[in-house]
Amino acid sequence: MIRDTAKLYSSNIGENIEIRDYAIIYEHVELGNNVIIGEHSVIGRCATPTSVMKKELSNEKKSYIGENVSICSNVIIYEDVSIGRESLIGDNSSIMPNVYIGEEVLISRSVTINTEVEIGDFTRIMDNTHITGRVKIGKHVFISVGVSMANDNLFGKNGYNEKVYGAVIEDYVSIGVGSIIMPGITIGRGSIVAAGSLVKKDVPENVIVSGSPAKIISKVPSSMSRC
């Protein structure tokens, strides 16, 4: 079902598609079967940078939305984005170009995802979280509400160069409410970042870190392990 007020410019769409009122689907978008696009969402939007933008964007135009994906209302997804099957993108979220999202991923409400980000299968990212550019997130990761990430310790002084990178977050990591993840660090497989922590250094596998700056307080007990 495609509402009369929706704008569909792509011919590469699957079966049983629902596009709700005032949604826009641009021509380079491919939709799999059983996809739902919510009200006022825009899929395949072209980024139009000006001189204030320090990063060159990808020339890839195609965006792919996999089977059984649900995209809620007021979502903006740019060109060069891939979203795997059975994923859900919550209301008011924004996904910039050159982003790969795996299968059965939950992106909750008002999440912002910058360029050159990879998110593995079965990961959950909760409300009002910001994923900065050049972040790699593994599989089965849980990121709670209001988490912030940065990728440049020099506040943009040298532009967007090869030294600007966000975190690597390995499989089965859990990050608590309101944590801040600083540039270029790695959080090891299965580790837990306690709520409100400031993570400035690499975190080994299977430990709990807490505080500002975050420090190791214990191994992850078996009762809390998700690995």
User: Which sequence spans correspond to the domains of the chain?
Assistant: 1-115
CATH class of the domain at 1-115: mainly beta
Residue 191 amino acid letter = S
> Would you mind telling me the total number of residues written for the chain in this entry?
227
Cα 24 from Cα 10, distance rounded (Å)? 10
Q: Cα–Cα distance between 3 and 16 in angstroms, integer? A: 13
Question: What would the mean pLDDT of 87-116 be, rounded to a whole number?
Answer: 97
Per-residue pLDDT for 167 more than 90? yes
Q: Which among 11, 4, 7 is positioned nearest to 24, based on CA atoms?
A: 7
pTM exceeding 0.85: yes
pLDDT-derived band at 163 (thresholds 50, 70, 90) equals: confident
